[in-house]
Amino acid sequence: MFRLIKFLSDSRNVIIFLILEGIALNMVIRKSDDRRTRMGDFLMDNVSKYQEWRSGINRYFLLAYENERLKDANSRLQGDITLLSEQIQHYEGLLKLDSLPRPLVDTFQQRKFVSFIPCQVIQYTTHRNYNYITINKGSLDGIGPDMGVISSEGIVGRVVRVSERYSVVQSALNFDFELITKIKTKPVSSGGAFSPDDALAFFEWDGRSARFATLAYIPETVEIHKEDTVVTSAFSTLFPAGFIVGVISDTEKSKKDGYTTAEIKLATDFYNLSSVYVINTEPQAVLDSLERTLPHD
Amino acid sequence: MIESLRYLLAWVLYILMQDLLFNNMTLFHAATPFVFLLFLILLPLNLPVIALLGIGFVTGLAADLFYGVANLGLHTAACTLVMLFRNRLVSIISSSNVRNINEISFRQQNSVWITSLLLPMILIHHSAYFLLDAFSLHDFFFTLLKILSSSLYTFLLTFMLFTVFYKR
């Protein structure tokens, strides 16, 4: 017994070290676990409050730059709106002739349920392998887990954790982020329809740069070119189809087992994140809850 | 009493500087300086290892929290680890005629002594930090590049800070 006490007091430092290190490693492994605890929410709210105050100072210096970017995005959207309203008028003309089947009209109208919640980024990292972003709106503003996040330039990430006033977003620059994307095999002007042989590809980030990511599992039969646009596909439950992800910058990073891996330049500037939008797709939420009720095997 | 207040003030300053300045100074997507380590390395030498471990844990946690609550623990684990070796390292690099490390003053040491204290401590911390961040040996050479370049970056900055503010 005496020996045991002596051993414990000799190795006291090591035991304390092991306990503290164990706590720390437990935090590392759990990462963005969305099990909400009162302690976790308390920390998140208070840390985010500080971050919001700090980003307020930073934002002040970036206002001019942000203004330019929003102007660019606005002019692009104006172009899209003009094009789309022309298309709508065209379809309305067809509707009057009653030549379009009814179900198709209904699908068009369902699209109205997508809404965008404007948010401000208050903290982000780019140098880690698992990067996260904090935004200044939470469940009170209608944000929930597994909603997609975009900026005015392209996709940003996925909401993983929500408190009442703040949310944590898993950045696209994160080893855990995955997305099925679609390559538009030739540059198409905005609003153009997909050609039938658009290829699907798997988006992943390799941790090398905040400006580039890789596209894996492109079938070798698909011809891809530099400057081909990569957009979100209808197979993703995060984003509606057609949001820009980036453009292909290197067509043949590697070729293996009948698949090509390409490099893409990300559309979003992850070094200067400021205004982002959370996508709230109501029909998708219904679909997700339906999927959850299905038995998993 | 005044001494501990001074350390508390320095702690707040180091953590704030890390968050407001050094975290934004990443070079080439590989090298990030973690200058707040200098605070941990220069903690008083008469502190017992248990106190060092506690301070390391709290400092690491504070540094982690500034990245948001989603990915805690990297700095916490690395700083706790590095504090386990501090006193041992000081006694190893000090000349053999020093009987008690309490007698050593950081201010009176030459640059070689400080370098041989700073470099191993920084390397231990950065290795732990970036290996935990990668959490696999996949793309190991890029992780190694991150460790070495960040260590060099941190070393240059901490050495400059030490020469300017700590040396007599």
pLDDT tens-digit profile, chain A (297 residues): 667 676 666 677 788 778 888 887 877 777 655 556 666 777 787 888 888 888 888 778 878 888 888 888 888 888 888 888 888 887 777 666 565 566 655 555 555 567 788 888 888 888 888 888 888 888 888 888 888 898 888 888 888 888 888 888 888 888 888 888 888 766 444 444 445 457 788 888 888 888 888 888 887 777 777 777 888 877 777 787 778 888 888 777 677 777 788 888 888 888 888 888 888 876 555 555 556 666 654
Question: A206 and chain B: CB distance < 8 Å anywhere?
Answer: yes
Name the least confident of A190-204, A228-242, B4-18, B90-104: A190-204
State the Cα–Cα distance between residues B8 and B14, nearest whole angstrom. 10
- The dihedral sign for the CA sequence A24, B38, B146, A245: positive
Using DSSP, state whether A194 is helix, strand or coil.
coil
pLDDT at B46 over 70: yes
- Look at residue A263 in the predicted model and tell me its pLDDT: 84
- Look at residue A140 in the predicted model and tell me its pLDDT: 83
Give residue B116's pLDDT band: very low, low, confident or very high (50, 70, 90): confident
CA angle at A236 for the pair A176 and A193, rounded to the nearest 5°:
135
Mutation target to probe the B interface, by most B beta carbons within 10 A, among A33, A129, A205, A254 is: A129
Question: A149 and chain B: CB distance < 8 Å anywhere?
Answer: no
Question: B20 and chain A: CB distance < 8 Å anywhere?
Answer: yes
For a pLDDT cut of 90, what percent of chain B falls above it? 2
CB atoms B70 and A160 under 8 Å: yes
How close is the nearest chain A Cα to the Cα of B146, in Å? 10
- Look at residue A294 in the predicted model and tell me its pLDDT: 63
State the Cα–Cα distance between residues B50 and B137, nearest whole angstrom. 32
Question: A39 and chain B: CB distance < 8 Å anywhere?
Answer: no
Mutation target to probe the B interface, by most B beta carbons within 10 A, among A28, A52, A122, A206 is: A28
Distances (CA, A) of A177 to A206, A238, A260, B29, B66: 11, 11, 20, 19, 22
- Look at residue A128 in the predicted model and tell me its pLDDT: 82
pLDDT at B100 over 70: no
- Look at residue A296 in the predicted model and tell me its pLDDT: 55
Q: Which of B23, B69, B77 sits opposite A24 (nearest CB)?
A: B77
Query: Does residue A28 contact residue B78 with C-beta atoms inside 8 Å?
Result: no
Question: A168 and chain B: CB distance < 8 Å anywhere?
Answer: yes
Using DSSP, state whether A156 is helix, strand or coil.
strand
Long-range interactions of A70-73: CB distance < 8 A, separation 24+ = A70/A152, A70/A275, A72/A152, A73/A152, A73/A153
Query: Does residue A198 contact residue A187 with C-beta atoms inside 8 Å?
Result: no
Mutation target to probe the A interface, by most A beta carbons within 10 A, among B69, B138, B139 is: B69
Average pLDDT, chain B: 82
The one-letter amino acid code at A297 reads D
Question: Backbone dihedral region of B123: left (phi > 0), alpha (psi from -120 to 50 degrees) or beta?
Answer: alpha
- Look at residue A190 in the predicted model and tell me its pLDDT: 47
Residue A247 has φ and ψ, to the nearest 5°, of: -125, 150
CB atoms B142 and A51 under 8 Å: no
A–B CB contacts, 8 A cutoff, strictly below:
104
Q: Which of residues 86-125 of B touch A (CB under 8 A)?
A: none
Q: Which of A20, A51, A129 sits opposite B133 (nearest CB)?
A: A129
Question: A127 and chain B: CB distance < 8 Å anywhere?
Answer: yes
State the Cα–Cα distance between residues B140 and B153, nearest whole angstrom. 20
Element (H, E) at A201: strand A199-204
pLDDT at B63 over 50: yes
Query: Does residue B75 contact residue B82 with C-beta atoms inside 8 Å?
Result: no
State the Cα–Cα distance between residues A145 and A66, nearest whole angstrom. 27
CB atoms A16 and B65 under 8 Å: no
State the Cα–Cα distance between residues A203 and A236, nearest whole angstrom. 11
State the Cα–Cα distance between residues B59 and B15, nearest whole angstrom. 8
pLDDT at B29 over 50: yes
Q: For A141, which DSSP code?
A: G
CB atoms A32 and B76 under 8 Å: no
- Look at residue A33 in the predicted model and tell me its pLDDT: 59
- Look at residue A22 in the predicted model and tell me its pLDDT: 83
CB atoms A134 and B68 under 8 Å: yes
Residues of A with Cβ-Cβ distance to B65 under 8 angstroms:
43, 47
Q: Which of B26, B66, B132 sits opposite A127 (nearest CB)?
A: B26
CA-wise closest residue to B29 among B145, B125, B131: B145
Residues of B with Cβ-Cβ distance to A19 under 8 angstroms:
none
